[in-house]
Structures are given as C-alpha cells and as structure tokens.
C-alpha cells in the first residue's frame, strides 16, 4: 500500500527491470488505483488511494506511511477453505465470484498482521487479477517468484498458529530469537514458500515488512532494496 502508486511502481520497474504492470480498473470500487507485476508465476501489487476517506488512506495514516498490507494465497478448493475459516470464526469482508477466479478477503482483526485473501483460479495456472495476458492462460514469464513474507505482529507465535489454521497447514515451527524477541516460521507445503512472523517494532504496528523473491533481475546492485516501505530481498533457486 502506497501513497503514490505510480512512484512506487516506477521504482520497482527501474530496480528489477520488470515490464509495464497491469492496471486493474476493478479496484476503483475500493477507491484505489493499482499496478500488478508478474514475478515468475507469482505477483507483486501496488495499490494507492484514489480518493479521500478510503480504508486504504486510513491504513496509511495508521502505519505512518507506505508498507505491506495484504497477502493473497491461491487454494485448490475454495469452498473447503471458506468452510474452514467459518469454523474458525473468521469474518469475511469481501468476496468475488467469477467463472475463472474467485476470492475471499478475511478480516484483519481475526487474522493479525495483514489482510489475508484466499483465491481460486481455473485454469489453475491462470490469474485474471493480473490482466488479459493471464486470463484463461499462462503467458511466457520469467522464472522464480515470491518465496516468502516477513510479517511484524505483536505475538508472532499466536499469529503464526492463526495463519496456519486459516491456510489448513501444519502448525508452525519456532524460529531464531532476535533482539526484539522470538520469531515463528510457517512453511507452505509443496511451494517452497514460507511465512516468517517477527515481533512488531519501530512503533508502526503490524504489517508485512519484507518480501523475498527468487530470480530478481536487479539492475541496481545486490540489494536488499526498500521500496514502498517494504524490504525486497533476492533468493537463489
């Protein structure tokens, strides 16, 4: 989430050599503008308020500036995932139902650290939210992709357990202890991706603070790079 979508999207393009992003007019219903970049077969999206009085604008005020605010996970069986989150007492704040893609946004008060969305696509490798080239098919794309997120929360262990339960995966494992306290890691099966939960610091509250991406074609040195309030780090493999 950024105050200036064009500025942050431009910095991402210059740093990583990414092609022009897709701009989805559909986010206008939320009072937003956006830019969606393909990173391998995963995606990095920048959104910004397009009018006053939006939830996005209030988020930026609460966080004190740009930062990571949403994590979207693709699931094979969205109906089962929806039943699971209902059984956990997680509130749903928005849903989308299209023939080739569907989404369920969860209340951040029930899943701490970010807005979590559970999405489904058909064909499985397609992704309408990334534009016409990804709708119903898979275009040629670079290798690599998002391999992990770091999420700052007040209670890393509790947040990790909650995210794991929402995603229907194994209980998390305890990670190393930092100067701010213990961390907890959730491994996503079959994807070689991980979620790392760390103690919130710096007085900014909870949010996504780092994204790791395999195959970053960085043009500005070896990184890591802080863009839009988020640290981007490369990863081999």
pLDDT at residue 156 in the model: 94
| pLDDT tens-place string over residues 78-118 | 999 999 999 999 999 999 999 999 999 999 999 999 999 99
* 230-235 vs 181-188, strand pairing mode: unpaired
pLDDT at position 60? 92
pLDDT digits (tens, 9 = 90+) for 188-208: 988 889 999 999 987 778 999
Q: Are 230 and 1 in contact (CB under 8 A)?
A: no
Task: Report whether 102 contacts 143 (CB < 8 A).
Answer: no
* Residue 180 pLDDT: 59
pTM score over 0.85: yes
**pLDDT of the residue at 181:** 67
DSSP 107-137: PTTTSTTSEEEEEEESSTT--GGG-GGGSSS
Cβ contacts of 97 within 8 Å, gap of 6 or more: none
Stretches where the chain sits below pLDDT 50 are 237
- CA-based Rg of the chain, rounded to a whole angstrom? 17
């Amino acid at each position: 989430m950024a105050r200036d979508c064009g500025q942050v999207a431009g910095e991402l393009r210059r740093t990583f050599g990414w092609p022009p992003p897709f701009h989805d007019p559909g986010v206008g219903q939320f009072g937003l503008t956006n830019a969606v970049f393909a990173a391998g077969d995963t995606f990095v999206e920048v959104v910004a308020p397009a009018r006053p009085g939006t939830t996005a604008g209030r988020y930026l005020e609460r966080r004190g500036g740009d930062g990571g605010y949403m994590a979207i996970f693709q699931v094979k069986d969205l109906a089962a995932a929806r039943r699971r989150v209902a059984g956990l007492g997680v509130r749903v704040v928005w849903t989308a139902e299209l023939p080739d893609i569907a989404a369920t946004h969860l209340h951040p008060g029930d899943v701490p650290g970010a807005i979590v969305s559970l999405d489904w696509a058909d064909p499985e490798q397609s992704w309408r939210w990334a534009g016409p080239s990804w709708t119903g098919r898979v275009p040629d794309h670079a290798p690599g992709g998002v391999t992990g997120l770091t999420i700052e929360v007040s209670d890393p262990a509790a947040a990790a357990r909650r995210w794991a339960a929402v995603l229907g995966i194994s209980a998390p494992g305890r990670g190393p202890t930092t100067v701010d306290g213990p961390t907890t890691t959730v491994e996503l099966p079959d994807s070689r991706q991980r979620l790392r939960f760390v103690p919130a610091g710096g007085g900014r509250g909870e949010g996504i603070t780092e994204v790791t991406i395999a195959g970053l074609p960085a043009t500005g040195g070896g990184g890591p790079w802080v863009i839009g309030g988020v640290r981007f780090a490369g990863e081999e493999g």
